[in-house]
Amino acid sequence: MAKEENGKEMASYKLKAGLAQMLKGGVIMDVVDADQAKIAEDAGAVAVMALERVPADIRADGGVARMSDPDMIEKIMAMVSIPVMAKVRIGHFVEAQILESIGIDYIDESEVLTPADEAHHVNKHKFKVPFVCGCLNLGEALRRINEGAAMIRTKGEAGTGDVVEAVRHARTVFGAIRQLQTMAEEEVYAYAKEIRAPYHLVNEVKELGRLPVVNFAAGGIATPADAALMMQLGVDGVFVGSGIFKSGDPASRAAAIVKATTHFNNPEILADVSRNLGEAMVGRQISSMSDDEKLADRGW
Amino acid sequence: MIVGVLAIQGDFGEHIKMLQGLGVETREVRLPEELENLDGLIIPGGESTTIGKLAKEYKMIEPLRKFGEEKAVWGTCAGAIFLSKDATRVKTGQPLLKLMDITIQRNAFGRQVNSFEVGLDVPALSAVSEENPPFDSVFIRAPLIESVDAEDVEILSSLEDGTIVAAKQGNLLATSFHPELNDDDRFHRLFLTMIKK
């Protein structure tokens, strides 16, 4: 919903997707208070995600996970000069209205929180604030973009410290894009139907050879090597949730993951930044989890 | 001619695409030795705190300064902050290259909801385009140029209210917006003329 103000165009899709372009090659870190936000900014984070509990704690505590207290989010916004993001439940457009009213820079409509609507996501075109959404595969990414998402993240499995699902989802998306590029034009119609995605977006991906928006990885990244692995697979940047502040030495680990994301193709630097980081988060192996413990299946 | 793009963080890929579209050989620059034999350098948009911090840790500040004293450098948005001699509203201790005699204000227009697009008159672009229509300019959590602090700094464009958003000083160019996010390559062509001189 672009609108004019003194000859200026505000809130256009180009501006929403453009902010994500500026985050590329960077690390977005989950933080639960202003002190953590400061540590993240000092470590070189390009943005922080303000939330009351990191995914590992949401898992451990159980119960309904909701949008964070606006007061806590505002304290984080006051503490740092980098963009601040916050999460709303899938489909909870009122939580999104609240975050927009306090001036948040980006909204994550996230499967990490308990979904509020089992059929519909937020109509993101109606907001001035840009949205990032999770995906398991190309079809889900394009459904979210069609609803107005200006940035995509592959979901991974949040709060586990196990990178295997992040890898699976990134490979699934990039594999589908490569497959799409080899298709004959007439095959694209059936393929769009098969992956339940709008034809015009499927066709755009075929032409571009990539998603039309910035694509980060999330869910399970716990070490500098994990971050570099995702970058080498082809994502534009990484979200690190529980991996930093559930580790032994958050400041060092945060700085090391930032460096690894920039120098993802330089094994000597990766070796150097991987030294003496203390304990990584303990983590949970995804293969030991039952299906109903997995968050990534939320989203439609 | 090889033009480097500082690839520590940000939208360096968009600059590279734009340069390649103009038939220019490019190189991603993350470490000091990658500046060797370059004819010019672009510092992209991104988070200036992140770019400054990593540039410092990988000992890029002095090599970049030396490069900018001799060769053409263009900073867009975060890159313009990094180029400046002085900056306000930056993080305490945020390193600056101190190459260009401008004072820049970071996040000058507010948060993301205050980001905007506007058509700018840029007379200097007539050097690379006969018809010189307004340049569609994308301002994302953008900085502004508070003041130009030397006589040889040329103001290339301002908003209607007089806010300076593009300036040039010798071989240095600063824009607080993102020409790399457009299909319009006039600013990139202007920068190339600064290299050929």
Confidence of residue A63 (pLDDT cuts 50, 70, 90): confident
- Within 8 A of B78 by CB-CB distance, chain A residues are 22
SS3 of B141, please?
coil
Residue B197 C-alpha, separation from nearest chain A C-alpha, in angstroms: 31
- What is the CATH code for B2-196? 3.40.50.880
In sequence order, what DSSP letters do the residues of A220-275 get, joined into one string? S--SHHHHHHHHHHT-S-EEESHHHHTSS-HHHHHHHHHHHHHTTT-HHHHHHHTT
Which of A19, A79, A80, A81 to mutate against chain B (most B CBs within 10 Å)? A81
B16 touches chain A (CB under 8 A): no
Average pLDDT value for residue range A144-152: 98
What is the per-residue pLDDT across A192-228, written as a single tens digit (0 to 9) for each? 999 999 999 999 999 999 999 999 999 999 999 999 9
Judged by phi (left if over 0) then psi (alpha if -120 to 50, else beta), residue A201 lies in alpha
How does DSSP classify residue A163? T
- Within 8 A of B12 by CB-CB distance, chain A residues are 24-25
Query: Would you call A14 a catalytic residue per the annotation?
Result: no
Residue A117: how many CA atoms within 13 Å on its side-chain side? 14
- Within 8 A of A19 by CB-CB distance, chain B residues are 112, 115, 140-141
Q: Which of A18, A26, A41 sits opposite B140 (nearest CB)?
A: A18
Do residues B103 and B145 lie in contact, with contact meaning Cβ atoms separated by under 8 Å?
yes
Residue A23 C-alpha, separation from nearest chain B C-alpha, in angstroms: 6
The residue annotated as part of the active site, out of A16, A87, A155, A246, is A87
Mean pLDDT is highest, among A136-140, B108-112, B193-197, for A136-140
Residue B130 buriedness (CB in 10 A; 0-12 / 13-18 / 19+) = exposed
Average pLDDT value for residue range A135-159: 97
The residue ranges of every structural domain in chain B are: 2-196
pLDDT at residue B173 in the model = 98
Is residue B136 predicted with pLDDT exceeding 70?
A: yes
Judged by phi (left if over 0) then psi (alpha if -120 to 50, else beta), residue B107 lies in left
> If you count them, how many residues does chain A have?
300
Residue A287 C-alpha, separation from nearest chain B C-alpha, in angstroms: 34
What order of strands is seen across the sheet that includes strand B116-120?
A3-5, A8-10, B116-120, B135-139
**Quick one: closest CA in B to A131, which residue?**
B112
B49 touches chain A (CB under 8 A): yes
Q: Which of A6, A21, A261 sits opposite B14 (nearest CB)?
A: A21
Is residue B196 predicted with pLDDT exceeding 80?
A: no
What is the per-residue pLDDT across A9-42, written as a single tens digit (0 to 9) for each? 999 999 999 999 999 999 999 999 999 999 999 9
Is residue A166 predicted with pLDDT exceeding 50?
A: yes
Confidence of residue A3 (pLDDT cuts 50, 70, 90): low
Is residue B115 predicted with pLDDT exceeding 60?
A: yes
Point out the least confidently predicted range of A33-37, A180-184, B90-94. Answer: B90-94
Tokens 């840029």 found at: B122
What is the per-residue pLDDT across A235-292, written as a single tens digit (0 to 9) for each? 999 999 899 998 999 999 999 999 999 999 999 999 999 999 988 887 888 888 888 8
Cβ separation A26–B49 shorter than 8 A: no
- Within 8 A of A262 by CB-CB distance, chain B residues are 7-9, 30, 54
Average pLDDT value for residue range A64-77: 96
Cβ separation B9–A263 shorter than 8 A: no
ipTM: 0.95
Average pLDDT value for residue range A66-93: 97
Residue B148 C-alpha, separation from nearest chain A C-alpha, in angstroms: 24
Q: Which residues pair with B120 in a beta bridge?
A: B135
- Within 8 A of A106 by CB-CB distance, chain B residues are 112
SS3 of A164, please?
helix
Cβ separation A103–B111 shorter than 8 A: yes
High-pLDDT (> 90) share of chain A, %:
84
Query: Would you call B180 a catalytic residue per the annotation?
Result: yes
β strands within A6-105, DSSP E: 8-10, 27-31, 47-50, 84-89
Is residue A133 predicted with pLDDT exceeding 80?
A: yes
Higher pLDDT, B91 or A90: A90
Residues 6+ apart with CB under 8 A from B114: A10
B155's tokens: 């103001």
Which of B57, B113, B138 to mutate against chain A (most A CBs within 10 Å)? B113
Confidence of residue A72 (pLDDT cuts 50, 70, 90): very high
B20 touches chain A (CB under 8 A): no
What's the CA gap between B142 and A287, in Å, rounded?
45
pLDDT at residue A2 in the model = 54
pLDDT at residue A1 in the model = 45
Cβ separation A44–B117 shorter than 8 A: no
High-pLDDT (> 70) share of chain A, %:
98
- From the list A292, A254, A276, the residue with the least C-alpha distance to A82 is A254
Confidence of residue B197 (pLDDT cuts 50, 70, 90): low
Residue A20 C-alpha, separation from nearest chain B C-alpha, in angstroms: 9
